[in-house]
Amino acid sequence: MGKTVIIKEIKYLNKYVYAYLGISFIIPFLAASGFLLPENEDIFSWIQRSGALITIVSIFMYETTLKIDSLINPINAIGSNYIGDDQTRFNRKNKFLKFISIVFTICGTWIWGYGDLVLKSLTN
C-alpha cells in the first residue's frame, strides 16, 4: 500500500472512532431521559445498564485505534507502508483517542457496577 492509501484508511477508521466516541457519550444521557425504558424497570437500573453499552462501544473504539496503530506503525516500516512525516501527527492523535477509549471503558464499567447506587444516594 502506498502512503496516500494508508492515510485514507487511517482517516476512514478515525470516522468510526469518532462515531463510537459520540455513541459512548450519548448513551448515559439517553438512559437518564428514559429512552426505551421498559415499564417494569426503574430509571436507576436503566442508567446502570447503560454502563454495559458504554463499555462495549468503548472496547470497539479501542479495537479500532489498534487497527489504526498497525497502519501508523507497521511491523515492517521499510518500503511502501511507511507514511513518513505524517506518522508523528497520526501517532499523537491515535494515542489520545486510545487513552479516551480506555477512560470511557473504565467509566462505563463503573456505571455498570455502581451507577444505580450512586444515583439513588444522590437523589435521597
Domains contained in the chain, number = 1
* Segment 69-79 mean pLDDT: 75
What is the average pLDDT score of the chain? 89
What is the pLDDT confidence band of residue 119, given thresholds at 50, 70 and 90? confident
For the entire predicted model, the pTM comes to 0.86
Categorize the per-residue pLDDT at 80 as very low, low, confident or very high, splitting at 50, 70 and 90. Answer: very low
Residue 81 has pLDDT above 60, yes or no: no
Range of the domain at 18: 3-123
Please report the pLDDT score of residue 4 as a whole number: 86
Q: How many CB atoms lie within 10 A of CB 78?
A: 7
Summarised one tens digit per residue, pLDDT across range 7-44 is 899 999 999 999 999 999 999 999 989 898 988 988 88
Of the candidates 41, 73, 63, 62, which has an alpha carbon nearest to the alpha carbon of residue 104?
62
Phi-psi region of 42 (alpha: psi -120 to 50; beta: other; left: phi over 0): beta
Instruction: Answer yes or no: is pLDDT of 59 > 80.
Output: yes
Question: pLDDT > 90: what percent of the chain?
Answer: 59
